[in-house]
Structure 1
């Protein structure tokens, strides 16, 4: 019972860590101090939980947990969290903080969902939960991208109506262009880190479960292509290299590439159904 409770605490820590990454990404994109504070306190709570687990392990095992790869990964993740907290609090380098936390989250996920420390039955349950979190994060990201796509379509419709000076009820019922573009962008801001988290956890599941797993699997490659395209969309939007209808069209094209990845590419994967 105690082992199950500790595993659940580890999984809860992973969820808090994922939320912290999301808020750090939002702060990275918008320089939002409120999001930064929320991310910092979530990460601080993650560090408190990690430190508690570390102390409990030292007391139970009567040694410092660095003698195996899994133990080393946990200690490495704990060090990265400390560095992130220090950088966030005193150095204020958002770029480094975000990517350090992405790496720390990936390492923490590898440690948490590694089945070696559990019984066979418990390991199977943990791996199933890993798959559930992976699918949930990915579908949430796809949902964000879908709504973002709809707002971009509305932007193009509204843009054409205004350009042709077709004033009427339709123009009044659709929001103004600036609002449509901003909401489409914000949805993608949340979708990109969710997709990244889903990919990290999905790869971890595949490594554990599939002996025929290959990094060059079509589904993995296409998923990272989708992540790259949406990341380019955010970069072009933030850097103002593309604005207005052009950025909306790019968002629409990105959505169709995502649909190809979701519905078609999985058929060519060795493990993705």
Structure 2
């Protein structure tokens, strides 16, 4: 029976990558991103199907009807459903939300089962979950830093043009449209990474078996950070907010994120640097 850790690692990481592409297409129609997301999700479905078929071949009643197998079947059905909806109904929001839920359930199912999770004497499963959570979070922070820098460049260039002040610096900056686009792309990359990082964080808290951590100030404020960036995308995609206001909001969201990181050491019970 296929139970090797590499199979589950492959499913988790490919699933996460497919969500990044789906998110990119969701916030702004992008056929290439949608094709990549669909292709990767289809590959996830193939890997899950291989596991399920192998389970039928090497049928063990005690294993086949365990909680792990049941939840694995649930995630397989969610992926199947999302692929069908994506193919015949093209409801992008439904597909994205269903797969975020499916990814969270799959990660929780995988990391809570020591039989399919890698284990070393000095590296337990909570460590791996925490490592993935931190990795996704750091990548998202990197993207948000880039977005903030581009927004700052946009505001500087906008001010210079408005005041009709020409300088050599302006010649070295991209145009307003390109600067706005670069900032937008950075947020598109950062927002789903933060969402995936927070999903893995939920898994870690569940494994710690301490529900009080869900109400930790750092955790709650992280949701506000995510909502701030989602609102940025909503303003740009749906409200068609001018670039100047978008740049200001992007910097405000970054400021919230920065405060969330800096002051975590003072008011969080477990998000501490020392």
TM over 0.5: yes
Unmatched 5+ stretches in structure 2: none
Match for residue 80 of structure 2 among 76, 79, 82: 82
Matched position secondary structure for 1:239 = helix
Q: What is the CA-CA distance between 1:31 and the residue it aligns to?
A: 1.2
What is the 5 A alignment of 1:126-165? 126-165=125-164
TM (norm. structure 2) is 0.92
Moved more, 44-53 or 63-72: 63-72
Q: What is the CA-CA distance between 1:53 and the residue it aligns to?
A: 1.2
Residue in structure 2 matched with residue 190 of structure 1 by the alignment: 189
Moved more, 109-118 or 252-261: 109-118
Matched position secondary structure for 2:4 = helix
Q: Separation in 1 of the partners of 2:161 and 2:94?
A: 42
Q: What is the CA-CA distance between 1:153 and the residue it aligns to?
A: 0.4
Residue in structure 1 matched with residue 47 of structure 2 by the alignment: 49
Q: Separation in 1 of the partners of 2:64 and 2:215?
A: 32
Q: Relative to 1, partners in 2 of residues 1:69 and 1:268: Cα closer, same or farther, differing over 3 Å?
A: farther
Unmatched 5+ stretches in structure 1: none
Residue in structure 2 matched with residue 68 of structure 1 by the alignment: 66
Residue in structure 1 matched with residue 97 of structure 2 by the alignment: 99
Q: What is the CA-CA distance between 1:119 and the residue it aligns to?
A: 8.7
Matched position secondary structure for 1:83 = helix
Match for residue 16 of structure 1 among 14, 22, 34: 14
Matched position secondary structure for 2:146 = helix
TM (norm. structure 1) is 0.92
Q: Separation in 2 of the partners of 1:113 and 1:144?
A: 27
Q: What is the CA-CA distance between 1:7 and the residue it aligns to?
A: 1.4
Residue in structure 2 matched with residue 237 of structure 1 by the alignment: 236
Residue in structure 2 matched with residue 178 of structure 1 by the alignment: 177
Q: Relative to 1, partners in 2 of residues 1:119 and 1:189: Cα closer, same or farther, differing over 3 Å?
A: closer
Matched residues, number: 271
Matched position secondary structure for 2:215 = coil
Runs of at least 4 residues of structure 1 off by over 6 A? Answer: none
Q: What is the CA-CA distance between 1:61 and the residue it aligns to?
A: 4.0
Q: Separation in 2 of the partners of 1:171 and 1:56?
A: 62
Q: Separation in 2 of the partners of 1:16 and 1:48?
A: 12
Residue in structure 2 matched with residue 248 of structure 1 by the alignment: 247
- The answer to whether the 8 A contact 1:148-1:188 is kept is yes
